Amino acid sequence: MREFRDYIRYALKYLSLAEEKNQKQEDAEWLLIPAIILAWSAMELFVNNRCADLNSLPSDMFESHERAFLQEKHLRFEDSGDNIGKFVLKGNEYQALENKIFFLLSKMGSQNTTSLKDGTLWQRFKSFKEIRDSLAHPRRDKDIILHPQNVREHIETAKELIQEISERIWNTKLDF
Amino acid sequence: MNILFDDRAQKNDKVEGQVTTFLNQVTTLEAKHNMLVIIFQDGASGAYYIKSSLLASDAAKLCDLDAKLDVSSSESYRANRQLFLKHMTYQRMVADALKGREFNDIIVEYNVEYTQENPLKVWGGQHRIKAISEAYTKSDRYHGFRIYFNLNKDQRTEIALVSNTNISVSNDTFDRMIEETIFGGALRKWCQKVELLGEKEDFPDVGSRSEKITVKKARSFVVNFYLGKRRGQELNSDKLDRNVYEPYLVDTGVKTGTDREIIADPTYEEIMNQYDILSDEALLKAGQRFLALHNEQYRAVLDTKTSIKNAKSYRNKAFVESVLCGWSYVAGLLQFHPERLENHYRIPKTSSKIPDPLNAEEMSKYKHDKDGPTYRGLGTRSALSDRQRIAQLFLAKSLEENVAIDQKFMDKAVSQVIGLLSLSQGYA
């Protein structure tokens, strides 16, 4: 079972290869793009797993809308059929990573959630997100140029954000 | 013969009588030279003793290596650790004894309440006595003894413990001595009744070298059953799965009490004082079902038709402290929830992919995000976090009749523990 640490490790491997290529003045972009995607996936995996921790609990420990959020389902009011008059979870409704982070922190975190949003780490996360989005959803008018140094910073941001979440919800410093 | 009490020893007629009887029975070096014999009294335990030199030929005949802690009970077993006659250190002792080595400070107790022909019960130096016995026909020398008289059970246990502190005696042997001193043979009898031990079998000297249940594990099983039962009594069935449970690991070794010299783990003492474990049918059944799980796990790992590695840790997975404590706690917890209890008692489903009920190999690979790179897997340690996770695993298993402990199932159980702790305490 792959864990978030593996994704970080793979991202760093790609980055290391990219740095070698860069030194030889060879094309390295094809290595930097997966490094970015993998680092983002590490954060996604960590956050999704924390949602899964909550999702494994008895369902009546959460409000319907919270369950819908955790399961990334749409909460719909039924006006016909067997469930008429009830709210049911139907169809997918994906949540942005940042929403899931704030949900987890407000549900389990030991500190004020807004303090994260006001800090520099969150600013770095947003820059990272912009890069990742433009790579995952490419457009001709939003071309970006990647440098190994920037990619290293984004991987560091992923690690730091995972660490921040862990410390806030578990009071535990993780080993990578 | 001149016998005198040391200035720091309180005069005691019974002790003096026993010393006189002993000295009339054996010709010690002191008697041979008509020397003064002084009776000392140990300040810590109050035990009386003399220092004396005995010929190897006399010692070989008088010493008893099967010393018992409880002399009044016919069910008391030999207390000392086993002899390691192939050990290099012992071989060297025999060689030295043959060359005429004179040993000193051998600790014995004069006691004629059992095996009267061998009144010197050996508490410290059993390997030296054995070596002397092998060598005396070739080299009959005087050896130094400390001979205790008129000991009570606590003093005897303390002497046995103190005499063994400078050699590598395991905590399991200590536990066995303490168990017998404080509680008699109840725990051993219970294990024999369950068949965790054979009919006349005792707990092992060193648990890590044995594949049998140790005193510590048997105590932990009993304690967790009752702690779980108490907790289960407070909970309705809809509340059972909303808690993180904390199976207890009984402390090993010896403690010094303020009012008593020797105390065992206080939770265990409290449980043993409150319950009669030998007449509790529910506890007996729990023990038997646990043994059935262990036997099935053991058999599956030994089975050459299965692909699982025949490792001791896999064979004895049920005996891993976290597994044993978690299983027993859940057995107690579900005493008031009979349907779930029966599910708990069912041996987990196996298949070609999961050949052993506890899925030991997969468990050892399991890891949650919270666990660091050095984590050794689920149900491999005794730590509280591992005990909590295992309890949750068995509790989740009890929700259904036929459950296979696969990786997905483990993940769900561990996630529940982490999720519950995060929600309830702020931190997992």
Does some domain include residue A22?
yes
Nearest CB to B418; choose among A3, A53, A58: A53
Q: For chain B, how are helix, strand and coil distributed in percent, rounded to 5?
A: 50, 10, 40
Amino acid at A76: R
CB contact under 8 A, B419 and A174: no
Nearest CB to B415; choose among A52, A58, A171: A52
Q: Which residues of B touch A170 (CB under 8 A)?
A: 370, 422, 427-428
Nearest CB to A170; choose among B415, B416, B428: B428
Out of B143, B169, B195, pick the residue that ends a domain.
Answer: B169
Residues in A lying within 8 Å of B, measured between beta carbons: 1, 3-5, 46, 49-50, 52-58, 61, 107-110, 166, 169-172, 174-175
Amino acid at B181: T
CB-based contacts of A92-99 (< 8 A; 24+ apart in sequence): A93/A68, A95/A69, A97/A43, A97/A44, A97/A47, A97/A129, A98/A125, A98/A129, A99/A69
- The tens digit of pLDDT for each residue in A21-77 reads 999 999 999 999 999 999 999 999 999 999 999 999 988 889 999 999 999 999 999
| Portion of chain B with pLDDT greater than 90, in percent | 69
Q: Which residues of B touch A171 (CB under 8 A)?
A: 426-427
What pLDDT band is residue B168 in, cutting at 50, 70 and 90?
low
B152, B72: one domain: yes
Q: Which residues of B touch A107 (CB under 8 A)?
A: 423
Nearest CB to A58; choose among B242, B415, B422: B242
Q: What 8-state DSSP symbol labels residue B35?
A: -
- The tens digit of pLDDT for each residue in B362-406 reads 999 999 999 988 888 999 989 999 999 999 999 999 999 999 999
What pLDDT band is residue B179 in, cutting at 50, 70 and 90?
confident
B219, B328: one domain: yes
Model pLDDT, residue A98: 95
Helix ranges (DSSP H) in B234-280:
266-274
Does some domain include residue A147?
yes
B105 pLDDT more than 60: yes
- The tens digit of pLDDT for each residue in B211-236 reads 899 999 999 999 999 999 999 999 99
Q: Which residues of B touch A50 (CB under 8 A)?
A: 369
The angle subtended at Cα B159 by Cα B156 and Cα B163, nearest 5°, is 145
B126, B92: one domain: yes
What pLDDT band is residue B257 in, cutting at 50, 70 and 90?
low
Residue A73 DSSP SS3: strand
Distance CA B279, CA A114 (A): 60
Give residue A113's domain range: 4-57+96-170
What mean pLDDT do residues B78-87 have? 72
CB contact under 8 A, A3 and B415: no
- The tens digit of pLDDT for each residue in A146-171 reads 999 999 999 999 999 999 999 999 98
CB contact under 8 A, A169 and B242: no
- How far A135 CA lies from chain B's nearest CA (Å)? 27
Q: Which residues of B touch A56 (CB under 8 A)?
A: 412, 415-416, 419
Q: How many domains does chain A have?
A: 1
Of B368, B286, B369, nearest to B331 by C-alpha is B286
Does some domain include residue A66?
no
CB contact under 8 A, A57 and B418: no
Residue B372 DSSP SS3: coil
B271, B297: one domain: yes
Q: State the angle between helix axes of A64-71 and A97-108 in degrees (0 to 180), rounded to the nearest 10.
A: 130
Q: Which residues of B411-422 are buried (b: 16+ CB within 10 A; e: fewer)?
A: bbbbbbbbbbbb
What pLDDT band is residue B425 in, cutting at 50, 70 and 90?
low
Tokens linked to A42:
């590490």
- Give this prediction's pTM: 0.77
CB contact under 8 A, A1 and B369: no
Distances (CA, A) of A124 to A31, A118, A131, B141: 21, 11, 11, 84
What pLDDT band is residue B256 in, cutting at 50, 70 and 90?
low
CB contact under 8 A, B428 and A58: no
Q: How many domains does chain B have?
A: 2
Mutation choice for B interface testing from A56, A106, A110 by most B CBs within 10 A: A56
What mean pLDDT do residues B109-119 have? 93
CB contact under 8 A, A57 and B420: yes
Helix ranges (DSSP H) in B318-406:
321-333, 338-345, 360-365, 384-397
Sign of CA dihedral A37, B422, B387, A175: positive
Q: State how beta strands B37-41 and A73-77 pair.
A: unpaired
CB contact under 8 A, B241 and A58: yes
Distances (CA, A) of B417 to A159, B284, B364, B414: 24, 29, 18, 5
CB contact under 8 A, A107 and B423: yes
B175 pLDDT more than 90: no
Amino acid at A37: I
Model pLDDT, residue B395: 97
Q: Which residues of A touch B369 (CB under 8 A)?
A: 3-4, 46, 49-50, 174
B77, B208: one domain: no
- The tens digit of pLDDT for each residue in B6-47 reads 999 999 999 999 999 999 988 899 989 989 999 999 998 899
Does some domain include residue A42?
yes
Does some domain include residue A45?
yes
B262 pLDDT more than 70: no
Model pLDDT, residue B428: 41
B265, B164: one domain: no
Q: Which residues of B touch A108 (CB under 8 A)?
A: 422-423, 426
What mean pLDDT do residues A121-147 have? 91
Does some domain include residue B417?
yes
Out of B134, B169, B204, pick the residue that ends a domain.
Answer: B169
Closest-approach residue (CA) in chain B for A163: B370
Does some domain include residue A148?
yes
Within 238-277 of B, beta carbons closer than 8 Å to A belong to 241-242
Does some domain include residue B180?
no
Average pLDDT of every residue of chain B = 90
B255, B301: one domain: yes
CB contact under 8 A, A56 and B370: no
Model pLDDT, residue B131: 93
Mutation choice for A interface testing from B423, B424, B425 by most A CBs within 10 A: B423
CB contact under 8 A, A107 and B367: no
Out of B169, B204, B232, pick the residue that ends a domain.
Answer: B169
Give residue B232's domain range: 186-425
Of B391, B12, B423, B229, nearest to A70 by C-alpha is B423
Nearest CB to B423; choose among A4, A108, A166: A108
Q: Which residues of B touch A166 (CB under 8 A)?
A: 370
Phi, psi of A137 (to 5 degrees): -125, 70
Mutation choice for A interface testing from B371, B393, B415 by most A CBs within 10 A: B415
Model pLDDT, residue B291: 98
Distances (CA, A) of B262 to B49, B68, B273, B395: 21, 17, 16, 36
Residue B74 DSSP SS3: coil
Q: Which residues of B touch A111 (CB under 8 A)?
A: none
Phi, psi of B147 (to 5 degrees): -115, 120
Distance CA B73, CA B69 (A): 9
B88, B155: one domain: yes
Residue whose pair of structure tokens reads 């932990």 in the numeric block:
B220
Does some domain include residue B253?
yes
B388 contacts chain A (CB < 8 A): no
Model pLDDT, residue B258: 55
CB contact under 8 A, B419 and A54: yes
CB contact under 8 A, A169 and B369: no
Mutation choice for A interface testing from B235, B244, B427 by most A CBs within 10 A: B427
Does some domain include residue A81?
no
B419 contacts chain A (CB < 8 A): yes
B34, B115: one domain: yes
B328 contacts chain A (CB < 8 A): no
B427 pLDDT more than 60: no
- The tens digit of pLDDT for each residue in A104-116 reads 998 887 777 788 8
B100 pLDDT more than 80: yes
Q: State how beta strands A87-92 and B3-5 pair.
A: unpaired
- The tens digit of pLDDT for each residue in B299-322 reads 999 998 888 899 999 999 999 999
Contacts for B70 with CB less than 8 Å, ≥ 6 apart: B76, B153, B180, B181, B184, B185
CB contact under 8 A, B407 and A54: no
- How far B242 CA lies from chain A's nearest CA (Å)? 7
